[in-house]
Structure 1
Amino acid sequence: MPGLVRKVLILAAIDGLLLLPAGPRSRSQGQAKVAYKTGVINAVTNETPIPQAVASGSSFEAVGIAGILSVPSGSWLIAITKRSLVAEIKGRQIFVITDIALIPLNSKSEAEAAISRAKAKSGKRGTNGTALDDTDSEGEDGDSMLSSDDDVYDDPPGRPSHNRAASSSIAEDVIGKKGLYGRFAERWFWKRGWQVDGNRLQGLSGRGESGGESFRMRKMTSGTTSPDSEAMDKAVSAAADEQAQGSQAETTATGDDATAQPLESPDEPTLEPVDNSAEGVANTLTPKLLRTTRILLAASRSFYFSYEYDITRSAVKQTHDTSSEVPLHKNVDPEFFWNRHLITPFIEAGQHHYALPLMQGFVAQQHFQIANKDGYGRNFLLTLISRRSAKRAGLRYLRRGIDESGNVGNCVETEQLLSDIDKTAEYSFVQMRGSIPIFFQQSPYALKPKPILMHSEFANKTAFQTHFRKLRDKYGEVQVVNLVERHNLEAIVGEKYEAYSNELEDPKIKFEWFDFHSECRGMKFENVSRLLDRVGNIVEEFGWTEEKGGKVEINQKGIIRTNCMDCLDRTNVVMSNFARRALEIQLTQLNIDPAKLETSLNFMNLLWADNGDAISKQYSSTAALKGDFTRTKKRNISGALADFGLTLTRFWNNIIGDFFTQAVIDYLLGNVSAQVFVEFEAKMMSGDPAVSISKVRQNAIETSSRLVIADSNEEMTCGWALLTPNEENTLRTFPFKEVVLLLTDAALYFCKFDFAMDKVSAFERIALEDIKGLQYGPYITSTLTSAQVDERQNVGLIVRYSTGKDNILRINTRSLTANVSRENADTVAEAVVPSPGDGDQEDAAKPADPKIPENTTSPSLPPPSDSKDRILAFKAISADSTIRASSRLPSPLRKSTESDEEKLVLSICNEVERACKIVNPSLHGTISDGTGEHSSTDEQTVRPFVEKKDVVSVLEARKSTGILEQVGYSIRRWVWA
């Protein structure tokens, strides 16, 4: 396959970043240029000599390119600056990323500043005229580097390199190290920072009392270069660098203190505040996005790569034709190709030698020697490779269960590779773990949350069958090992799992339920041997892959799929026992004395314990529980106390840090657009892009129409999913809930829908004759963020109607009584409608609007002409963040003169008006008392049937936004963002 660039010199040229391959292979690898602002990648015909690039002083060396990170505010080249050797398979090295550099593509000055910081950090001062050794680091002539030795740490493969990162508490990060959070933290630890919030909420410029800005929510347009933007970039990079160093206990010169500019100066020119767009919101979170990206890709030490070996595939699936001209990125398994979206610009530009695939997971290797039955010592190498799936990737409670494509949360393939050094043979044993393949969720706001089943039986069975069909196609036979409880909270998902497995009626898919907590009660984890007594023979039945002399002689026939609720602690304990049994059988067949295996394989416990910690940190941000037993095969009180501390840490991470990290993961994978940061700023939460929101809403519309339209002669015209206040007949009571609105040729149906259970909770039928008018316009429900006060994105309508005799109100009370009187309808409906945590809703923490009392109309509405008149208020749902981002640099999200929300609301008004006029051809408007300031009480005016007027204006919303609401949001943003 074409050689990948192993060393590249990155030079800040006038019109773009030059990428100059270095080393003996560089002659066949062309140079490339990444243009500023546009990010266009082109091959360079006039090659720049390496000495000339070094002499320029504006270059530094990287050991690979991870891709390009693009947001509306700009783009950054992600260069791998440090790596560590963790394993060697068949003479091919595997590395873990230990540090990266984010080089801005906005301008030459910003790129040069970032390059200077990268050089200073790695100890490379880059004096003019420095001669560099033009040899490849993995070349046959040695392991010399272009830069100093501290740039790359190559640990010998003979000892394990587990790369466990030190952890820190949230309190330490937020309070003890508040200076590391750059501009954002400055807002919270400086008294003028609070003034900015108040000014912005009043529509002012956001300036403080002294004329400066604290938390500067500014547009960082990609074509602008300013000292301010450079200072911000330096602060962010310095913070991230220092945080990464602290977590890894690395001692490296940063060189940032001497060059960093102050973040704030009273004499600094005030830039334009951010506009009300998704682009602006993305800008405000850009420092946190960059910091999180650096932590994920570098400080976590969880991303691995190899220049020659395909680490995304097990031994049996390796491409052995190394002379093929197919690039490595085309051979790798897409399921484990984590930077596919980031590296796509290079692939599309034909620069395949820069497309370095990255895999998240765990890799470790240990050499051991053991005597055979004849007394001769045998040399072996044990390698453990865990591959985390990029499908349904994410964090603990935010990626549970399954999606519509059959992908499950925390899906990890683990390969244990035994290399017989003396006989040049390989023995590969593969297992996997993954969440229970049904739709369910758990609240992150409880230490022991109850699983909640979601969606219909048909949807669950379809996704379940898709999942196991994929497993059969990929691995062959499947042995399911389910470790959840048979009783208590976990039983509900375990029973569904067992029932669906039995319904498959597939003899090649076997199911075994082992209640780990019950069987191992009293910390007797050695009782896992009971499980091996029941299904341990499956290890020999499935076997493993054997490769001798480069030829595969035996293939593994099936796979053991193990799970508990999180697929972390119990799962890792059980998988390590299956792996040990496989290794013992393999060594016994290689003429090794079985009596010597017990003591000679203790190191294996450490490998698997480190593997469990790594997977656990990637999914729950803490090390695995029960790690003491995995390491020592003993359980004691100190281990239990340590697990309790880890449980509390997991709980804190679940409710605080995971939401933004999940949004960043989805964005880096290309699953969502920059709109995800708009949603995060408003709700401090992020959705699940694997769930097709449009399909879910369409299903809700179809289900509602099937259940609520009783007259077969009544024809449905349209259906929409909209937001509505928590209380009926009001405009602003929180939380807003997602509902279904149906229009037929005879009536309008207002349906409260339980999206988790796919059921209608309640509905009201309003005859078209009783609709008196519509009003549409800006519908501002909150003024806490810039996106929430954008009148083009926040649009709604009001339906005015009277309670006529043909109207129907029914509530699903799960009893024979479904008709409910209008007087107590709201109270009864609230009892059966989903809780505020379900569905797509507005902020659940906000109180009811004090300026608009419940059961009254808005001040902008004329007083009702009849006491029986009521209103229904609806708000268009914002643009979907799950729209996949383009592989190229993103443009501003909204450029059309009319937003999607405006078009949706206008179309609803037009459809309702047309239907009402068919029923009542004489309908043109309604006559009501004049309410104008200068009109007399006797004057009557004709109001149009459809009136364009603010539902709730920005001014009204600001007046009704209390100080507690503002402070509450500010505190939550400080903690979450």
Structure 2
Amino acid sequence: MPGLVRKVLILAAIDGLLLLPAGPRSRGQSQTKIAYKTAAVNAAATETPISQAAASGSSFEAVGIAGVLSVPSGSWLIAITKRSPVAEIKGRQIFVITDIALIPLESKSEAEAAIARVRAKFAKRSPNGNAVEDADSDDEYDADSMLSSDDDVNDDPPRPASHHRSKSTIAEDVIGRKGLYGRFAERWFSKRGWQVDTNRLQGISWKDESGGEQIRMKKMRSPNGTPTEEATEKAVSPTLDEHAQESQGELTETGSDTAAQAPADIEETASEPIDEEVVEGVANSLTPKLLRTTKILLSASRSFYFSYDYDITRSIAKQSPATSSEVPLHKKVDREFFWNRHLLEPFTEAGQHHLALPLMQGFVAQQNFQIPNKDGYGRNFLLTLISRRSVNRAGLRYLRRGVDESGNVANCVETEQLLSDIDKNAEYSFVQMRGSIPIFFQQSPYALKPKPILMHNEIVNKAAFQSHFKRMKDRYGEVQVVNLVERHSLEAIVGDKYEQYSRELEDPKIRFEWFDFHSECRGMKFENVSLLLDRVGNVVEELGWTEEKDDKIEKAQTGVIRTNCMDCLDRTNVVMSNFARRALEIQLTRLDIDPARLDKSLNFMNLIWADNGDAISKQYSSTAALKGDFTRTKKRNISGALADFGLTLTRFWNNIIGDFFTQAVIDYLLGNVSAQVFVEFEAKMMSGDPAVSISKVRQNAIETSARLVIADSNEEMIGGWSLLTPNEENTLRTHPFKEVVLLLTDAALYFCKFDFAMDKVSAFERIALENIKGLQYGAYITSTLTSAQVDEKQNVGLIIKYATGKDDILRINTRSLTANVSRESADIAAEAAVSPGEEDKGVSQGDTKSSTDTKTPAGDPAPSPPADGYGDRILAFKAISADATIKAASRLPSPIRKSAESEEETLILSICSEIERACRTVNPGLGDTVNKDDTAESGNTSEQTPCPFIEKKDVVSVQEAKKSTGLLEQVGYSIRRWVWA
């Protein structure tokens, strides 16, 4: 294959960063330039000598490129600066990333400042206190050095297997070290937030594309014109490196005065005239937190692996043949496990394939061992364990559960146990996989043992279930399901469905086994897992493993064991390690190894599998795996149980504090969401699920509502919309706002309360068109806590004024024979009709109940119905904001809207127009509507003035919203921001 660059000299040139391949294997590879501001990647127009670049002092050496991270406040090159070898397969090394550098692409001065900090860090790491000779020294790039091995870099030494539990990096960073990031927390409290990419509406006419104009950010200066701290801190501060490494026990000195290394005269660059208030908010809000989290994920976590010349994303059985060696590695790897594909797009699209280094998240470990055969002669073997985490439905515990519409499941991990017979040049590969139960369900992160809640109907669930197992059969062949959830507790809610759907498949290639782990192993008797092996252990031999000798596949594995519990972590790892040991024992026995020697000789295997469980657990729940003591020692004791209790509490804390932002970052790095996800996070401190097709869910809600509530087949459907409305009817601002469906026919309006979790209409009201008196549209500000929430272009709504008539219909789905309910008890009945805890779930995730319900602001219409039950009422609706799950067509989010009219306004205007047209058809004299002005001040009771049917007037203005925002609400939000920051 075309060689990947193993050493890259990164130089801050005048008009962009230069990436210069170094080393003998890099000869003939083109130099690459990344332009400042635009982050455009192209081949360099002219060649820059390596020695000249090194002598400039504005360069450093990286061992790989992970990609380019682009956000509204700028772009950063992600360079791998430290790696550590963890394994070797067929003479090809596998490395884990131990450190990265984020180099800003805003200007030459900022890039130089960041490079200076990287060089300073390298110098401090040198044993003699001088610059590292084989990594940063200018002398390295002379002619003699270029003939040396291009692997001669300053690698971190391999970390010895600790085989003990360690604290979560993310948990420490979010919880224990938040005080160390004071200046970033200070920025977090800025009133100005991410004001970008909010001009697309998350309606039913969703499209998977958006604009991609480059946003040029102005440097922020103090009133006297000097650069502010914000201007010099766009590059990641070295203190971030210190804290990230400190949490892993690797704190190194970086020098006390890093600011002095930054150039003093940072010149202001030209920029397009856009809203400076918005730009400043974009640059000062969540960017530092995003960069810090990115650094923790990619380096401090020690969970990302790569190889320059071996495809670690594929098992032995699926390795590409040698005939395809001319294909770049990034085109050969399995996209299921290709984690930085989105970050590498600038390089792959520009044809700079020699810099596109694929990364895989998971776990890799290797152990040599010697064991005597039956004749007493020692045989040499190598055991390698590789776990590959899928990028599909990737994320954290409780935020990614179950399945998506495509059949992808959460925490899906393929684990390959590779036995290498060194003496006979043979490989034996045994593959297993784990993954969440392939059913739509969710669990609240705010409980230690949350109840699973099933979602969607049987048809949708079965379709996703079948899709998942079709993918499994296409990838692995036969599937032996091993379900470890409890039979007689909350877990049985999903376990029963899992078993039911598996039986209904009636597929001989899908076998289902339910082993209630907690019941069978009650009293910490985890050795009872042997009972499971007695029942299905023969499947190991039936499905077999892949055998390769002299680079030729002689036997292929015909199926896979798919193991799961609720999280696919603790119980799952214990059981998978037992299946793996059974496979290894059979393989060694067939290789003429003395079976009596196996127990003692394979103890190291328990430690490797325990480390594997800890690694996968940290990536999914931010803590080490539970039951790790049994996996390591095959014994369970009180100390292990107490340690598990502490880890459980840590997981709970992470679930409610740190995971939401980390999940948003993971989705953004994978390219699943746009920068709108950070706007949503700032407003709600939560993040949604991009795997759920919101457009389809809303379209389904509209179609279901129309089918159920429109009784007269003669009525013609004109339109349907999904909108937000206050929690209480006939008001303007009572929290939480709920997502509802509004239908328009040629005879009436239908206001439908829809239960998105159950796919049912919980209540609806039919309003005859002749009873509609008028419409009002304008700014609809429901909160003033973030800058996005007070943007009058993004927050638009309408009021429908109508008179209740005798022909109108109000029905509540009470789950009983009676569906008619009086208007006075309508709200109560509607709430009772929805399952407890599901009334505010809807599609809009993250809506939280306010402790106080703000009633209609003074001066706004909110008339109460008279005693006879009829009178004037209002319905208030607000356009739903842009959807973060809309993937941008370009790498950067669409620019800040400069047009006079936003898409939210366009939607509201179109709704008003459709309603007016329908009303005029029913009532042709609607244009002659008059309003009597009989106020005491005028003294003229007979005067009539025209009253337009559609009136443009703020529904709730910014000033009104600020007046009605209580102190408790502001304090509560500030506390939440402080905790989450």
Deviates more, 1:489-498 or 1:839-848: 839-848
Corresponding residue of 1:613: 614
Equivalent position SS for 1:924: helix
Identity of aligned residues (%): 77
Tell me how far apart the structure 2 counterparts of residues 925 and 431 of structure 1 sit (CA, whole Å).
Answer: 74
Tell me if the contact between 1:774 and 1:947 (Cα under 8 Å) persists in the aligned partners: yes
Equivalent position SS for 2:823: coil
Tell me if the contact between 1:743 and 1:912 (Cα under 8 Å) persists in the aligned partners: yes
Tell me if the contact between 1:723 and 1:841 (Cα under 8 Å) persists in the aligned partners: no
1:975 pairs with 2:965: no
2:139 to 131, 154, 179: 131
Q: In 2 relative to 1, CA 11–764 (structure 1 residues): closer, same or farther, beyond 3 Å?
A: same
Corresponding residue of 2:946: 942
Q: How many residues align?
A: 936
Q: CA deviation at 1:641?
A: 0.5
Higher RCO, Cα 8 Å, sep 6+: 2
Q: CA deviation at 1:832?
A: 2.2
Map 1:310-459 → 2, pairs under 5 A = 310-321=311-322, 324-459=325-460
Tell me if the contact between 1:341 and 1:887 (Cα under 8 Å) persists in the aligned partners: no
Corresponding residue of 2:199: none
Tell me how far apart the structure 2 counterparts of residues 290 and 787 of structure 1 sit (CA, whole Å).
Answer: 22
Tell me if the contact between 2:888 and 2:894 (Cα under 8 Å) persists in the aligned partners: no
Letter in 2 for 1:48: T
Corresponding residue of 1:53: 53
Q: In 2 relative to 1, CA 427–568 (structure 1 residues): closer, same or farther, beyond 3 Å?
A: same
Corresponding residue of 1:75: 75
1:907 to 905, 910, 921: 910
Q: CA deviation at 1:222?
A: 3.5
Tell me if the contact between 1:925 and 1:945 (Cα under 8 Å) persists in the aligned partners: no
Tell me how far apart the structure 1 counterparts of residues 52 and 462 of structure 2 sit (CA, whole Å).
Answer: 63
Corresponding residue of 1:876: 879
Structure 1, residues 358-384: CA drift from partner, whole Å, max 9, x if none? Answer: 000000000001000000000100000
Tell me how far apart the structure 2 counterparts of residues 426 and 340 of structure 1 sit (CA, whole Å).
Answer: 29
Letter in 2 for 1:130: D
Q: In 2 relative to 1, CA 767–631 (structure 1 residues): closer, same or farther, beyond 3 Å?
A: same
1:259 pairs with 2:263: no
Q: In 2 relative to 1, CA 749–282 (structure 1 residues): closer, same or farther, beyond 3 Å?
A: farther
Tell me if the contact between 1:106 and 1:224 (Cα under 8 Å) persists in the aligned partners: no
Corresponding residue of 1:5: 5
Tell me how far apart the structure 1 counterparts of residues 832 and 219 of structure 2 sit (CA, whole Å).
Answer: 54
Corresponding residue of 2:197: none
Structure 1, residues 830-866: CA drift from partner, whole Å, max 9, x if none? Answer: 222432344316742424454637xxxx623497898
Corresponding residue of 1:482: 483
Map 1:631-650 → 2, pairs under 5 A = 631-650=632-651
Tell me how far apart the structure 2 counterparts of residues 233 and 767 of structure 1 sit (CA, whole Å).
Answer: 60
Tell me how far apart the structure 1 counterparts of residues 936 and 375 of structure 2 sit (CA, whole Å).
Answer: 107
Tell me how far apart the structure 2 counterparts of residues 142 and 689 of structure 1 sit (CA, whole Å).
Answer: 41
1:888 pairs with 2:891: yes
Tell me if the contact between 2:478 and 2:560 (Cα under 8 Å) persists in the aligned partners: yes
Map 1:215-226 → 2, pairs under 5 A = 221-222=216-217, 224=219
Q: In 2 relative to 1, CA 405–258 (structure 1 residues): closer, same or farther, beyond 3 Å?
A: closer
Corresponding residue of 1:205: none
Q: In 2 relative to 1, CA 893–476 (structure 1 residues): closer, same or farther, beyond 3 Å?
A: farther
Tell me how far apart the structure 2 counterparts of residues 956 and 931 of structure 1 sit (CA, whole Å).
Answer: 27
Q: CA deviation at 1:894?
A: 2.9
Tell me how far apart the structure 1 counterparts of residues 748 and 58 of structure 2 sit (CA, whole Å).
Answer: 70
Tell me how far apart the structure 2 counterparts of residues 782 and 22 of structure 1 sit (CA, whole Å).
Answer: 54
Letter in 2 for 1:77: L
Tell me how far apart the structure 2 counterparts of residues 164 and 232 of structure 1 sit (CA, whole Å).
Answer: 39
4+ long deviations beyond 6 Å: 126-129, 134-140, 161-164, 271-276, 862-867, 931-934
Letter in 1 for 2:905: E
Tell me how far apart the structure 2 counterparts of residues 254 and 689 of structure 1 sit (CA, whole Å).
Answer: 39
Tell me if the contact between 1:123 and 1:252 (Cα under 8 Å) persists in the aligned partners: no
Map 1:470-869 → 2, pairs under 5 A = 470-833=471-834, 834-840=838-844, 843-850=847-854, 852=856, 859-861=859-861, 868-869=871-872
Tell me how far apart the structure 2 counterparts of residues 119 and 706 of structure 1 sit (CA, whole Å).
Answer: 66
Q: In 2 relative to 1, CA 828–605 (structure 1 residues): closer, same or farther, beyond 3 Å?
A: same
Tell me how far apart the structure 2 counterparts of residues 588 and 462 of structure 1 sit (CA, whole Å).
Answer: 43
Q: In 2 relative to 1, CA 309–486 (structure 1 residues): closer, same or farther, beyond 3 Å?
A: same
Q: CA deviation at 1:900?
A: 1.1
Tell me how far apart the structure 2 counterparts of residues 355 and 860 of structure 1 sit (CA, whole Å).
Answer: 59
Letter in 1 for 2:112: E
Tell me if the contact between 1:160 and 1:366 (Cα under 8 Å) persists in the aligned partners: no
Q: In 2 relative to 1, CA 436–933 (structure 1 residues): closer, same or farther, beyond 3 Å?
A: farther
Equivalent position SS for 2:824: coil
Corresponding residue of 1:216: none
Structure 1, residues 462-498: CA drift from partner, whole Å, max 9, x if none? Answer: 1111110011111000000000111110101011111
Map 1:203-352 → 2, pairs under 5 A = 221-222=216-217, 224=219, 227-228=227-228, 232-233=232-233, 236-255=236-255, 257-259=257-259, 280-281=281-282, 283-321=284-322, 324-352=325-353
Tell me how far apart the structure 1 counterparts of residues 175 and 738 of structure 2 sit (CA, whole Å).
Answer: 36
Equivalent position SS for 1:94: strand
Equivalent position SS for 1:607: helix
Tell me how far apart the structure 2 counterparts of residues 702 and 505 of structure 1 sit (CA, whole Å).
Answer: 32
Tell me if the contact between 2:170 and 2:296 (Cα under 8 Å) persists in the aligned partners: no
Q: In 2 relative to 1, CA 951–140 (structure 1 residues): closer, same or farther, beyond 3 Å?
A: same
Equivalent position SS for 1:566: coil
Map 1:9-24 → 2, pairs under 5 A = 9-24=9-24
Tell me how far apart the structure 2 counterparts of residues 118 and 767 of structure 1 sit (CA, whole Å).
Answer: 69
Tell me how far apart the structure 1 counterparts of residues 512 and 448 of structure 2 sit (CA, whole Å).
Answer: 29
Tell me if the contact between 1:276 and 1:790 (Cα under 8 Å) persists in the aligned partners: no
Tell me how far apart the structure 2 counterparts of residues 155 and 503 of structure 1 sit (CA, whole Å).
Answer: 49
Q: CA deviation at 1:28?
A: 1.9
Equivalent position SS for 2:467: helix
Q: In 2 relative to 1, CA 651–863 (structure 1 residues): closer, same or farther, beyond 3 Å?
A: closer
Equivalent position SS for 1:664: helix
Letter in 1 for 2:884: S
Q: In 2 relative to 1, CA 323–506 (structure 1 residues): closer, same or farther, beyond 3 Å?
A: closer
Letter in 2 for 1:876: A
Map 1:74-93 → 2, pairs under 5 A = 74-93=74-93
In structure 2, runs of 5+ residues without a counterpart are 125-130, 195-213, 222-226, 263-267
Deviates more, 1:320-329 or 1:230-239: 230-239
Tell me how far apart the structure 2 counterparts of residues 475 and 917 of structure 1 sit (CA, whole Å).
Answer: 62
Tell me if the contact between 2:372 and 2:594 (Cα under 8 Å) persists in the aligned partners: yes
Tell me how far apart the structure 2 counterparts of residues 378 and 129 of structure 1 sit (CA, whole Å).
Answer: 45
Corresponding residue of 2:120: 120
Letter in 2 for 1:119: R
Q: CA deviation at 1:175?
A: 7.6
Corresponding residue of 1:183: 183
Letter in 2 for 1:434: G
Q: CA deviation at 1:42?
A: 1.1
Equivalent position SS for 1:153: coil
Letter in 2 for 1:398: L
Structure 1, residues 235-282: CA drift from partner, whole Å, max 9, x if none? Answer: 8423321221212222423135342699xxxxx9xx999867699457
Tell me if the contact between 2:930 and 2:947 (Cα under 8 Å) persists in the aligned partners: yes
Corresponding residue of 1:963: 967
Corresponding residue of 1:265: none
Letter in 1 for 2:921: I
Q: In 2 relative to 1, CA 224–281 (structure 1 residues): closer, same or farther, beyond 3 Å?
A: closer
1:921 pairs with 2:916: no
Tell me how far apart the structure 1 counterparts of residues 878 and 443 of structure 2 sit (CA, whole Å).
Answer: 28
Q: CA deviation at 1:898?
A: 1.6
Tell me how far apart the structure 2 counterparts of residues 279 and 810 of structure 1 sit (CA, whole Å).
Answer: 50
Corresponding residue of 2:200: none
